Amino acid sequence: MQKALFRFPRRNARRFRRPGLMAGLAAVLAVSVAACSSAGAQEEPVSEATATNTASEPAPVPAGALPDTPAGLQAQWVLTLINAGTPVATDGFPDKFADVILSELSAEQLAEVLEQVRSQGPWTPIAVNATDTQGVFTLESKPDDLTDLQLSVDEAGMINGIFFGPGTPARTPAASWEEVKTSAAALPDGSALAVYRVADGTAVLDINADTAKPLGSIFKLYVLVAVTDAVAAGTLSWDTALTVTDDLRSLPSGELQDAPAGTTVTVRDAAQKMISISDNTATDLLMDAVGRPAVEQALSDAGHADPDRNTPFLSTRELFRLGWGVADSVRGQWADAGDDGRRALLQTLPGGVLDIPATAVSTPVWQQDLDWFATAEDLMRVHLALQERAATDAGASLRDILGANNGLSLEIGGDWTYIGFKGGSAPGVMAGSWYLERSDGERFVVVQQGASSSPAEVADPRTFFGPAQDAIALLAAEGKR
């Protein structure tokens, strides 16, 4: 699951959450389930999609049993509160909720929301999709009355994201490629799904995959290419220290947006955060270190078919500012301007702390060219470009960075010996990309993308990424025959 895109889905729900803005910019999963996350998913807020096996179903849990992990222990504490025989009190809240939550909602307001949930219980956990630091815990109060508790914790184990939403019913995985096509056809108009066999470059499946679509946080793969090439050229080192400043500080998803000015992080750690939790501030630190021209060059070097589609290449701060921090007329100027005009517009954006409220980041802006764009085949090529660099001295860290979060909680060592993942999400955008190595040596890239003018249509990564999960399960089964 990708904490990045830890953007919790925007559905009708009983919810409260940290002031996270984009999962992925994100990534998927939010909970990615994003990147961009999403995605990415999340978002952190979350991002990108989660599942716990190749059948893409949550792992069943015995009644009352949750994982003995930081996220699982906090989920158990929440479960105790909403199953108690007495109203929820605020005792102990400062020891459980991070300041980022308590600064947005008072302990009394949090207790009120939990009391609303308690009044509909008692609740029994029936399924879990989780990593150590975030997860989706499906709770049942009566047959067919499901609620998903989505929860994340910070490095100290404090709750920094929490969301109650409608539970996602179990889905029946596709048993054939024809069923995958049927499932994909039910997605919002314009969604794409592609499955590529790396050995010969053929498309096992290609559904509406030849049109460039917004990526959310998947764009961070191109930043990683630029960083690796700078290390190879000797202009940057993986151990170079980067400094968080108010001019480079972005908004969630991630962690570094909460770090004090002057905090330093190495290039390697920033890259790890950029991919594994879709950290937007880490991304902007890396972009600042290599420079915008280097990231734009990375588009061409990684085989993007239309690199001019993404120039000037936006930082996450710039996307937040232009997308939700300026007047509609300024967004119109961006949409209508050419390359020179857009670069000039970027020069007018103010520095310092971003003052964009979380509630503002809800309207899709990708239609005005405010995102990053690529086709499924472009994303296949950038994954392969990174794997090629991983075989060099400069890129020796890449496989660990890309494989830290595989987006679907798939088991490594059985059907799949390696999975690299990046997802992304934004209002109206959901995307995921997987590079997979099968135990028989075959390699694949799976890409699913969606963009809608209605954010609700692509708000739930677990539902949206069902076709991709099914495709990966079919590829795993194919390797056993």
Report the alpha-carbon distance of residue 403 to residue 388 in Å, rounded: 15
Sequence-ordered list of residues with C-beta below 8 angstroms from that of 300, at least 6 positions apart, any chain: 307
Higher confidence at residue 79 or residue 145? 79
Instruction: Band the pLDDT of 62: cuts 50, 70, 90.
Output: low
Is this prediction's pTM over 0.95? no
- pLDDT for 7: 30
- pLDDT value of position 64: 53
With a cut of 80, say whether residue 351 has pLDDT above it: yes
Query: 3-class SS at 388?
Result: helix
CA distance 324 to 426: 12
What's the pLDDT tens digit per position in 15-36? 333 322 233 333 222 222 222 3
Which of the pair, 163 or 38, is modelled with greater confidence?
163
DSSP 54: T
Beta-strand runs (E) in 279-428: 373-374, 416-426
In angstroms, how far apart are the furthest CA atoms of the chain? Answer: 64
State the DSSP H helix or E strand holding residue 243, giving kind and residue range, or none if neither: strand 241-243
Residue 412 DSSP one-character state: B
pLDDT for residue 363: 94
pLDDT at position 412, please?
76
∠ Cα 16 20 24 (to 5°): 125
Tell me the per-residue pLDDT of 217-237, one tens digit each, with 9 for 90 and over.
Answer: 999 999 999 999 999 999 999
In the numeric block, the tokens 């750690």 are attached to 269
Position 196 pLDDT exceeds 50: yes
Task: With a cut of 60, say whether residue 5 has pLDDT above it.
Answer: no
How many whole angstroms separate alpha carbon 270 and alpha carbon 253? 13
Q: Which residues pair with 161 in a beta bridge?
A: 152
Q: What is the pLDDT of residues 131-143, one digit of tens each?
A: 788 888 989 998 7
Spatial CB neighbours of 228, under 8 Å, sequence gap ≥ 6 = 386, 389, 394, 395, 398
User: Residues 273-299, buried b or exposed e (16+ Cβ, 10 A)?
Assistant: bbbbbbbbbbbbbbbbbbebebbbbbb
Smallest CA-to-CA distance from 215 within 84, 34, 356 is with: 34
Angle at 143 between CA 140 and CA 149, to 5 degrees: 20
DSSP 334-357: HHH--HHHHHHHHHTS--SS----
- pLDDT at residue number 21: 26
Question: What sign has the CA pseudo-torsion 8, 322, 191, 2?
Answer: negative
DSSP string for 99-120: HHHHTTS-HHHHHHHHHHHHTT
> CA-based Rg of the chain, rounded to a whole angstrom?
21
Note the pLDDT of residue 405.
Answer: 87
